[in-house]
């Protein structure tokens, strides 16, 4: 089977956000199963790309593209405005069994696939994305038609997001939990000694985490950078951390296994409706208990692996919960490990669900056949 991922977004390692890591992990898993995999994504460099866009408009030629297999599978990158052309050209040259899209413009890409008779999946990975998609569907007939095409299946990453998306679009999406290669984040011999907070930006609960750290000076906190922070966000964080000797900032890097090795508790005080929570599941795979906000799809990811609080609860309640969890860590570590082993989170199960969408009844999530026929793979070529 051949699966083609297409999006107007940057791809790994240019973008290491959760939804792009989903694509990277699923592509690797499918490749390891013997399927043909290719990823089509946008090049980075907004200001530099503007000149190329003008030249390409004037000449009608594709002047900027790059293809490689550095991620372990074929990846082609071009100006985001050229992604539809590349998608059409590649489908004409090597028809895929399934096209998987996501992000801004993803519905249009799914529509391109459907018009050529190819099954497509439109992944919705955040509440904000669901709202934007609903707005686009109201104002753009092509987007509305793609969403309702019998060859396009909407897929969300949690039951929470499925309910929200159905209410906004009037279409019931399938639920397939994020594809996460949990073995890649396992830390091995662990020596827990600190509390970890991933992605220290306001919407993820930065201010709550800082207040909690101030209330627990005897506890060490590691703030692990994930998304690229804007200059003003970094400056605000550094100013706040300057008065907290027990807080350190870990620079952004690929993977958090080294952080999980010494994490005693994962703190997830999100202030936004998270679609899921990749870091919660990664922590659980390492036997790390979690203290998180009761928001969005976080409870689905978390199971019984820790404690849920209201996003607006005062800092002293968060601090008290940390002390209570650390005092009962043994029981919660076992619960965390059990949560990570749930069948619906396993990569073989998730990959099979996606593959099933290439051959099952249109618009439904079914269990696929991981042993499907392998198709010959080759590099994505630029359109003529």
Q: Is the C-alpha dihedral spanning 26, 28, 30, 35 positive or negative?
A: positive
Identify the pLDDT of residue 362: 54
- Whether residues 154 and 99 share a domain: the answer is yes
Q: Is the pLDDT of residue 216 over 60?
A: yes
- Which of 176, 208, 240 delimits the end of a domain? 176
How far is the C-alpha of 354 from the C-alpha of 374, rounded, in Å? 15
Give start and end residues of each alpha helix (H) in 60-195.
83-93, 106-115, 127-139, 141-148, 159-169
Residue 81 has pLDDT above 60, yes or no: yes
pLDDT value for 54: 57
* pLDDT given for residue 51 in this prediction: 58
In the chain the beta strands, taken as DSSP E runs, fall at 2-6, 36-42, 65-68, 74-78, 98-102, 119-124, 152-156, 174-175, 194-198, 221-224, 247-250, 263-268, 290-293, 306-309
Instruction: Among 206-215, 235-244, 352-361, name the most confident range.
Output: 206-215
Residue 79: per-residue pLDDT: 87
Mean pLDDT over residues 294-298, rounded? 96
Most confident of 99-108, 232-241, 369-378: 99-108
* HSE value, Cβ hemisphere, 13 Å, CA-based, for 96: 32
198 and 235 part of one domain: yes
Angstrom distances, CA of residue 271 to CA of 203, 204, 377: 5, 6, 43
Same domain, yes or no: 162 and 13: yes
Question: Residue 327: inside a domain, yes or no?
Answer: yes
Residues 10 and 121 in one domain: yes
pLDDT of amino acid 106: 96
Residue 55 to residue 79: CA distance in whole angstroms? 12
* Residue among 63, 68, 70 nearest 49 (CA): 63
User: Among 281-290, 297-306, 365-374, whose mean pLDDT is lowest?
Assistant: 365-374
Given this model, what pLDDT does residue 365 score?
39
Percent above pLDDT 70 for the chain = 88
Q: 125 with 238, same domain?
A: no
Structural domain span for residue 271: 186-340
Quick one: tokens of 305? 């692996």
How much is the pLDDT for 368?
Answer: 28
43 lies in some domain: yes
125 lies in the same domain as 15 = yes
Summarize pLDDT for 101-152 with one digit per residue, the tens.
999 899 999 999 999 999 999 999 999 999 999 999 999 999 999 999 999 9
228 lies in some domain: yes
- In the listed set 340, 358, 374, which residue is the last one of a domain according to the structure? 340
* Whether residue 202 sits in one domain with residue 315: yes
Contact of 273 with 261, CB cutoff 8 Å: no
Domain tally, the chain: 2
Residue 366 has pLDDT above 50, yes or no: no
pLDDT score at 53: 59
Angle between helices 106-115 and 83-93 (to 10 degrees): 30
Cβ atoms within 10 Å of 183's Cβ, excluding its own: 8
Instruction: Please give the Cα distance from 269 to 248 (Å, whole number).
Output: 18
pLDDT of residue 61 exceeding 70, the answer is no
Residue 95 burial (CB < 10 Å; 0-12/13-18/19+)?
A: middle
For residue 176, what are its two tokens? 């397939």
Residue 45 lies in a domain: yes
Q: Flag whether pLDDT at 296 surpasses 50.
A: yes
pTM beyond cutoff 0.85: yes
Predicted confidence at residue 63, as pLDDT, reads: 54
215's tokens? 């209330």
Closest CA to 24 of 223, 197, 286, 255: 255
> What is the percent of the chain with per-residue pLDDT over 90, rounded to a whole number?
73
Domain-located, residue 139: yes
CA separation, residue 142 to residues 87, 101, 107, 138 (Å): 17, 15, 8, 10
CA torsion through residues 311, 313, 316, 320, sign: negative
Q: Are residues 16 and 162 in the same domain?
A: yes
For residue 13, cis peptide bond before it (omega within 30 degrees of 0)? yes
CATH number of the domain that residue 199 is part of: 3.40.50.2000
Same domain, 31 and 153: yes
Q: Is the pLDDT of residue 218 over 90?
A: yes
Q: What is the dihedral of CA 131, 12, 7, 50, to 10 degrees?
A: 100
In a domain, 346, yes or no: no
What integer best gives the mean pLDDT of the chain? 88
Give strand pairing partners of 78.
Answer: 42, 65
Could you read off the pLDDT of 270-294 as tens digits, one per residue?
999 999 999 999 999 999 999 999 9
Query: If pLDDT is split at 50, 70 and 90, which confidence band does 235 have?
Result: confident
Question: What phi and psi values does residue 293 have, to the nearest 5 degrees?
Answer: -75, 140
Q: 123 with 239, same domain?
A: no
Helices and strands per DSSP (H, E), number in the chain: 15, 14
Q: Are residues 7 and 60 in the same domain?
A: yes
pLDDT level of residue 66 (50, 70, 90 thresholds): confident
pLDDT at 323: 97
170 torsion bin: left (phi>0), alpha (psi -120 to 50), beta (else): left
Q: Would the pLDDT of 60 be above 90?
A: no
* Domain assignment of residue 159, yes or no: yes
- Can you give the length of the chain in residues? 384
Place of tokens 């999100």: 270
pLDDT of residue 371: 29
Q: Look up tokens 């052309």; give the residue.
A: 85
C-alpha to C-alpha distances, 327 to 289, 294, 304, 321, nearest whole angstrom? 11, 22, 16, 10
313 assigned to some structural domain: yes
Distance CA 17, CA 11 (A): 9
Q: Are residues 49 and 194 in the same domain?
A: no
């Amino acid at each position: 089977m051949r699966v083609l991922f297409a999006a107007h977004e940057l791809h790994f390692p240019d973008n290491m956000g959760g939804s792009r890591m989903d694509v990277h992990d699923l592509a690797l898993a499918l490749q390891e199963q013997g399927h043909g995999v290719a990823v089509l994504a946008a090049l980075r460099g907004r200001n530099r790309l503007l000149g190329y866009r003008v030249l390409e408009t004037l000449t009608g030629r594709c002047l900027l593209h790059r293809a490689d297999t550095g991620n372990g599978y074929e990846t082609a990158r071009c100006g985001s405005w050229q992604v539809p052309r590349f998608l059409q050209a590649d489908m004409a040259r090597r028809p895929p069994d399934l096209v998987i899209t996501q992000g801004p413009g993803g519905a249009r890409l799914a529509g391109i696939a459907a018009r050529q008779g190819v099954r497509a999946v439109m992944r919705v990975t955040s509440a904000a994305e669901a709202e934007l998609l609903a707005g686009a569907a109201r104002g753009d007939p092509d987007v509305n038609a793609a969403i309702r095409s019998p060859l396009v299946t909407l897929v969300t990453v949690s039951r929470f997001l499925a309910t929200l998306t159905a209410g906004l679009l009037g279409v019931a999406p399938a639920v397939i939990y994020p594809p996460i290669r949990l073995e890649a984040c396992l830390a091995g011999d662990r020596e827990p000694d600190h509390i970890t907070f991933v992605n220290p930006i306001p919407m993820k609960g930065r201010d709550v985490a800082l207040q909690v750290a101030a209330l627990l000076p005897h506890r060490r906190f590691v703030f692990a950078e994930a998304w690229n922070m804007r200059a003003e966000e970094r400056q605000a964080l550094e100013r706040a951390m300057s008065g907290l000797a027990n807080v350190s900032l870990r620079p952004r890097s690929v993977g958090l296994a080294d952080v999980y090795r010494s994490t005693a508790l994962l703190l997830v005080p999100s202030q936004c409706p998270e679609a899921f929570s990749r870091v919660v599941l990664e922590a659980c795979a390492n036997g790390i208990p979690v203290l998180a906000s009761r928001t969005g799809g976080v409870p689905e990811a978390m199971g019984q692996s820790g404690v849920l609080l209201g996003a607006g609860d005062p800092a002293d309640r968060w601090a008290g919960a940390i002390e209570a969890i650390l005092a009962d860590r043994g029981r919660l570590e076992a619960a965390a490990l059990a949560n990570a082993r749930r069948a619906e989170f396993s990569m073989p199960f998730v990959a099979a669900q996606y593959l099933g969408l290439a051959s099952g009844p249109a618009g439904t999530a079914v269990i696929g056949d991981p042993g499907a026929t392998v198709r010959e793979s080759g590099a994505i070529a630029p359109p003529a």
